[in-house]
Structure formats: structure tokens, C-alpha cells
Structure 1
């Protein structure tokens, strides 16, 4: 199996487990699938979540900033929701439960990545300016997820729904997709009015 899923911080996992064991938290979640789940709810597939920062001056690779960990919450064999944690000054805290198309899309992308011949460390990488989420396959298996940065050997799998013109579930080299993202995120120049 080429995917080397990094272990989530124990405090992040504990915060999700505490939220799952709180009937009030689960009942008040805006996730009908989680509220209607039958059987035990189990956190699975912890993935570090990052936000893509603007590219470096001179056209270098962009930077990524760790924003949390996402756990898929399983009920029996299906994913009912995701539980997200955020870093705090003294560790990790539960943030919220969510559901939607990115859950199934993440599972599909993980299966796609699992058949690759090279090993990768999976992360989620958000591009907020494009309302885009990707599975980031980091090539350095020894990197600490908290400080991992995009590298030229990394791959991206855009999750569905992807922005127009970017194919979901297509494997992209990071170096091929970054110029497209940079162009899309660049501010549009103001047209000068005729004199």
C-alpha cells in the first residue's frame, strides 16, 4: 500500500472521540447522516488539512499552512460525516462535524492513490479562492505533517466538485497544476476607461 497515513495528534483524536460521545454535540450537528447513524461511530482516515498560500515571489512553489485534521466518521462500513479539529494554543480542539460531496470524493481519491506504485503521505489541501479541495499526495514520507510543504515530486487529485476547467479525480503533478491555480487566483487587472 503506497499511502503512508501519518498518525493524527492524540489530542486531536481525543477531541473527536469526546464530541462523538456527547449526545448533545451529535444531536446538534448539522449533519443528518450523523444524527441518523445506527451503531457505533468510529473516527477513521485522519488526514492533515492545509490551506494553499499564495505562490512565492519569483514563481516558486506555493506554501501550505496546517489548519487542522479531518477524521472520517464511519457508521458500519459507510462514512456518515467528518469531524474536524483545529490547533489551539495548548493543543487541539474539536471544531465541527460536516458532510457533503467531499466525503465520498475523498474516499474515492484515497482508493485512486492506493494503487499508485510510489509511496505518498496523503493530506487535504484547500484552495479557498477557487472553492477547491484536493487530495495532496506528498512525496516525502518522513515529513512531519505540521510543517510539510509542497514539493515538485508531489501529486494532487482535485476532489469533486472541482472548479470549472479542472477535472476532478484526475491525477496532476503539483508542478503542472500550480501554474493553472496561480493564473486563476491572480487579481484581474482593472480595465482603464477610454479617455
Structure 2
């Protein structure tokens, strides 16, 4: 079943296209793979990037907030980098190019998700407290990709490298994975008074 990719805001796409068309922006990027490419580069597969805040916070569910849109930068059929646009007070603007394991892991996770019989809307969900990035497969394919928290039945696919003890590229239901993340980040209980070692 094909994934239902949400369209990125037009100004976000324009800002990434302008950066790709700028020899200075590409030359000054810290992505050697991008600088070394010959031929056309194209931004594809826009994914809204959400950050999961408050995972270890007591007394409330974690919250998500949109921080940008990430595009895979393709050279031919292969992703060589990613570009991110972020929302500022003046609107959407190009933020940065990046490369590394999350680019290839995102591409791999998207291919895996496309083979699923269930339709999903792909998003990215970052958990900064664990240095973790996941492909978030949202069940409501008609939803606005820039809004809403993860539903209990949504799937999260941790991208490699994943934190120790969490298998990369293995889908987890939100209802199963979030409690594990919360327990990892919950503050440790203070020692009991009057106990001796």
C-alpha cells in the first residue's frame, strides 16, 4: 500500500529548492556527499518533523510540536542527503543540509512501510532526550501532517542508530513504546532516609 505523504508547505519547498540551487549553500554545507554529487538533485518525500517533549515528565502525557519539514535529497534514485526547512517569524526558511545514518535509515524505513498492507501517513518523530529519531506511521491518512499527537495505534519505527535496548527498524505501537521511553527517562527515586548500605 503506498504511503500517503502530506504535501509540505509551498514556501518550505521553495526555500529548499533555493538552497539546492545556490552553489554557495551547497558548497558550504557540511555534507560531503552532497558536495560530491554530479548532476541534478531533487528534494523528495517531504516529512513533517515533530519533537516529542516531556517524555520523562510526571503528571501528564508527552506533547508533540512541529519543528520543520525534512526532504530527502535524491541523486537519481538514491538519497544522498536531507534538507530541512523550519518555521520562523517570517515564514518557512531553509535551515540546513544533513547526511549520515538517519538519511539511509529513513529511506529504508519508508521502503519497509510501503510494503505494509495498511495505509499510513509518514512523519518523523524526534525524542531529543534519548537522541532518537523514529519514522512515525500515522493511521489517519487524511489528517494534517503538521498537527496532532501520536495515536495509541500508530506505529513508531526507530531509525538506526537507535538507543540501546530498542531495536532499530522494528515497528512498535505507540501504546507499547511510549511507556518504555517514559520509564527510561523518569527521574530516579531518592534513597529512603534511615537506610544503611
TM-score band, normalised by shorter chain: over 0.9
8 Å CA contact 1:153–1:173 kept in 2: the answer is yes
CA distances 1:36-71 after superposition (whole Å, capped 9, x unpaired): 0010111011100000122586564x3211000000
Aligned length in residues = 194
Q: 2:20 matched to which residue of 1? A: 20
Q: 1:171 matched to which residue of 2? A: 171
Where does the alignment leave 5 or more consecutive residues of structure 1 unmatched? Answer: none
Q: 1:122 matched to which residue of 2? A: 122
CA distances 1:58-97 after superposition (whole Å, capped 9, x unpaired): 564x321100000011112221110001011232000000
Q: 1:98 matched to which residue of 2? A: 98
Alignment of 1:155 onto 2:185: no
How many angstroms does 1:161 deviate by? 0.3
How many angstroms does 1:23 deviate by? 0.3
CA distances 1:76-120 after superposition (whole Å, capped 9, x unpaired): 222111000101123200000000000110011101111111111
Alignment of 1:73 onto 2:73: yes
What TM-score results when the alignment is normalised by the length of structure 1? Answer: 0.93
What TM-score results when the alignment is normalised by the length of structure 2? Answer: 0.93
How many angstroms does 1:129 deviate by? 0.5
Alignment of 1:51 onto 2:46: no
8 Å CA contact 1:87–1:93 kept in 2: the answer is yes
Alignment of 1:143 onto 2:143: yes
Could you tell me how far apart the structure 1 residues matched to 2:59 and 2:185 are?
16
Where does the alignment leave 5 or more consecutive residues of structure 2 unmatched? Answer: none
Could you tell me how far apart the structure 2 residues matched to 1:88 and 1:58 are?
31
CA distances 1:113-162 after superposition (whole Å, capped 9, x unpaired): 11111111100000000000000001111111221211112001000000
Could you tell me how far apart the structure 2 residues matched to 1:76 and 1:142 are?
30
- What is the aligned-residue RMSD (CA, Å)? 1.7
Could you tell me how far apart the structure 2 residues matched to 1:29 and 1:189 are?
44
How many angstroms does 1:191 deviate by? 3.7
8 Å CA contact 2:58–2:186 kept in 1: the answer is no
Could you tell me how far apart the structure 1 residues matched to 2:192 and 2:13 are?
53
Could you tell me how far apart the structure 1 residues matched to 2:83 and 2:53 are?
24
